[in-house]
Chains A and B, each alone.
Chain A
Amino acid sequence: MSLLEIENLSVSLPTPKGMLELISNVSFSMEAGARLGIVGESGCGKSLTALAMMGLLPDKAAARGAIRLNGENLLELDEKMMRSIRGNRIAMIFQEPMSALNPVKTIGSQISEGLKIHLGLNKTDAENKTKKLLDSVGLPLNRFPLNLHPHQLSGGQRQRVLIAIAVACEPDILIADEPTTALDVTVQEIILELINEITENSGMGLIMISHDLGVIAQTTEKVLVMYAGNAVESGSTEDVFQHMAHPYTHGLFAAMPKSGTRNYEARQRLYSIPGQVPEAHARPKGCNFAGRCFKATAECAVEEPVLKPLNGKHKVSCFHPLTEGNPQ
């Protein structure tokens, strides 16, 4: 049994046009201490998947399927049980460090809050642990006392505080939702290293959500590519990066600027995938990507492809995968 098993997860949200399914039948699993990436464009359902795992979907959202942590389906737990899991066994780092910390509370109180809730630490113990945590995320106590307020810190420093909050209770799984998107490029690198270091040292599982393939390559072993609420390709990060099979994954790579092109003549306009992600209420029949796909055929507009093994552990949901692998 894997640590985390997500099976046919579908999430619908209420809209003026009725319930809309934003995530459809997404499945993946993850072993203890594993490092999984979820990659895709904005609006593909990455963050919603993460929120579903945290049990923090909007009030009227409906989730179907199963999210099993050690065999226990989180979707069936009541709020009180879910609270004991949040921040304790699954924790999350959010995208916007500038707004994700409470401006009127000290960083010390925000970090120690989870310690008091889940580990039942008293004030002194919580404070001592908080000091250690701050130190471990690279905010030494002599320069960053516990009574600082978030506005006294830079974006990168605030993200460090958020990492300290997330890892405070040593969760089994740390979900990092675009943790570096809002940061300066130089700071991004350092924060990724910090996340790598902390999760590796403590054997924490990591789910890295990003639209940035570089971030995924740097932090994960396995990857799940999502498009318009579906998982379209999955496998080991190395395999998917080298032998990408789905035309969408191919498009993502082609749209990435390549480093090392010194020859100005050789520079070209960046590739962009034609068209736009279909709106959730206007998703086509058949493959969601068919309208933008250079390999699409008549079949793609009729039948919906499912995620199936291409070779070994690499899976793809496409009728016309790009690699030579043998679709079974």
Chain B
Amino acid sequence: MAITLLVATVVVFLVLEILPGDPASFMLGMEAQEDTLSALRAQMGLDQPALVRYFKWVLGLLSGDLGISYTYDVPVSELIIERIFVSLPLAILAIVLSTVIAIPLGVIAASRHNKSSDLIIMGFSQLGIAIPNFWFAMLLTIVFAVMLRWLPAGGFAGWDAGFFPALTSLLLPTVSLALPQSAILARVTRSAVLEVIQEDYIRTARAKGVSRGSALWNHALRNAMIPVVTIMGLQFSFLLAGTIIIENVFYLPGIGRLIFQAISQRDLIVVKDLVILLSAAVIIINFIVDVLYAVIDPRLRGSGHA
């Protein structure tokens, strides 16, 4: 895991080295004098050789010092922590909602394979996959915020405003993130369950007098969870990092918006730190997924990988 992260730091650093865009000239504007620019670069430490800057950055990361944001002039760690309290709850809510919707629907679709309820569920799932989530988000805003005025159209109340107002402002973003995810997850669940219900042990269970439904929920579902958990892991990583569009639609001060702003303002130190943070998050999620595999399937325990 540590090696993966180290490689990530090298790649991120190199890519940002190669890409055009000088933070100093961005900060001072197009008409800045060459000597003011070089003074600023020296102040920011940008005049040092790349290797030195790389090691300073990585050592900083290791000691918890993420550097100072070029544009905000505050420690990057502060910026990130503030944003994580928006993005992480959003991602968790979205994955929970998506799972709660997707797994029962997937199982029902599988148990009614090729019957009308299966076709209806899979039809909606196809629709959910096809609809772009920003469009769906706008639709939700129009209905629930503009027309019905039940929920705020955007912005984040902040956790200081209390648990409930904060949660309310995350509700629409959660739904617009969760539905497309659940559409995919329901399909994965359905095909995994369909495969498992052909297994011999389902017949054994039925031969004991177990009902069709109980065989499905108690015997088949857990066996079908391995592919489902794999997809959930991927989706959660995506939700942490890939909410840029939804955060912009709802004007949420989350990680996605921070990356977006940092890139457009050449706040390279913030970009680098965030990318590393997200890589670390993905690695941790993959680890959790591996642990879940072992929880689900006793055959995968004690094989000592990961």
B164-172, B199-207, B227-235: which one contacts chain A?
Answer: B199-207
Question: Whose C-beta in chain B lies nearest to the C-beta of A91?
Answer: B207
CB contact between B208 and one of A103, A149, A151, A165 (< 8 Å): that residue: A165
- The answer to the question of B211 belonging to the interface, with a C-beta cut-off of 8 Å to chain A, is yes
CB contact between B222 and one of A83, A104, A166 (< 8 Å): that residue: A104
Provide the residues of chain B in CB contact with A103, threshold 8 Å: 201, 223, 297-299
Provide the residues of chain A in CB contact with B209, threshold 8 Å: 83-88, 114, 117-118
Provide the residues of chain B in CB contact with A165, threshold 8 Å: 204, 208
- The answer to the question of B210 belonging to the interface, with a C-beta cut-off of 8 Å to chain A, is yes
Contact present for A162 and B298 (CB under 8 Å): no
Provide the residues of chain A in CB contact with B210, threshold 8 Å: 83, 87, 113, 117
- The answer to the question of B79 belonging to the interface, with a C-beta cut-off of 8 Å to chain A, is no
CB contact between A86 and one of B199, B208, B223, B298 (< 8 Å): that residue: B208
Distance in angstroms between the alpha carbons of A117 and B219 in the assembled complex: 15
Question: Whose C-beta in chain A lies nearest to the C-beta of B212?
Answer: A79
- Size bracket, chain B contacts: 20 to 34
Binary per-residue interface labels of chain B (236-274) against chain A in the complex, 1 for a CB within 8 Å, 0 otherwise: 000000000000000000000000000000000000000
Chain A contacts with B in 64-87, Cβ cutoff 8 A = 79, 83-87
Give, as a whole number of angstroms, the nearest-CB distance from B196 to chain A: 10
Distance in angstroms between the alpha carbons of A68 and B199 in the assembled complex: 29
Give, as a whole number of angstroms, the nearest-CB distance from A179 to chain B: 13
Distance in angstroms between the alpha carbons of A290 and B225 in the assembled complex: 51
Q: What is the size, in residues, of chain A's interface with B at 8 Å between Cβ atoms?
A: 31
Contact present for B223 and A102 (CB under 8 Å): yes
Chain A contacts with B in 151-200, Cβ cutoff 8 A = 151, 162, 165-166, 168
Given contacts A83-B211, A96-B200, A99-B199, contact A104 B297 (CB under 8 A): yes
- The answer to the question of A54 belonging to the interface, with a C-beta cut-off of 8 Å to chain B, is yes
Q: Is the interface of A mostly helix, strand, loop or mixed?
A: mixed
Given contacts A100-B201, A102-B219, contact A54 B298 (CB under 8 A): no
Contact present for A151 and B298 (CB under 8 Å): yes
CB contact between B298 and one of A79, A85, A149 (< 8 Å): that residue: A149
CB contact between A94 and one of B200, B212, B223 (< 8 Å): that residue: B200
Given contacts A87-B209, A99-B199, contact A104 B204 (CB under 8 A): no
Contact present for B203 and A94 (CB under 8 Å): yes
Provide the residues of chain B in CB contact with A281, threshold 8 Å: none
Distance in angstroms between the alpha carbons of A281 and B299 in the assembled complex: 42
- The answer to the question of B46 belonging to the interface, with a C-beta cut-off of 8 Å to chain A, is no
Contact present for A56 and B206 (CB under 8 Å): yes
Contact present for B208 and A113 (CB under 8 Å): yes
Given contacts A104-B297, A105-B219, A149-B298, contact A99 B200 (CB under 8 A): yes
Question: Whose C-beta in chain A lies nearest to the C-beta of B220?
Answer: A102
4 further A-B pairs in the complex, CB-CB below 8 A; given A85-B209, A94-B203, A149-B299: A83-B210, A100-B204, A102-B219, A151-B298
Can you pick out 26 interface pairs between chain A and chain B where the beta carbons lie within 8 Å of each other? A83-B209, A85-B209, A86-B207, A87-B207, A87-B209, A91-B207, A94-B204, A96-B200, A99-B201, A100-B201, A100-B203, A101-B204, A102-B205, A102-B223, A110-B204, A113-B208, A113-B210, A114-B209, A117-B209, A117-B210, A118-B209, A149-B298, A149-B299, A162-B204, A165-B204, A166-B207
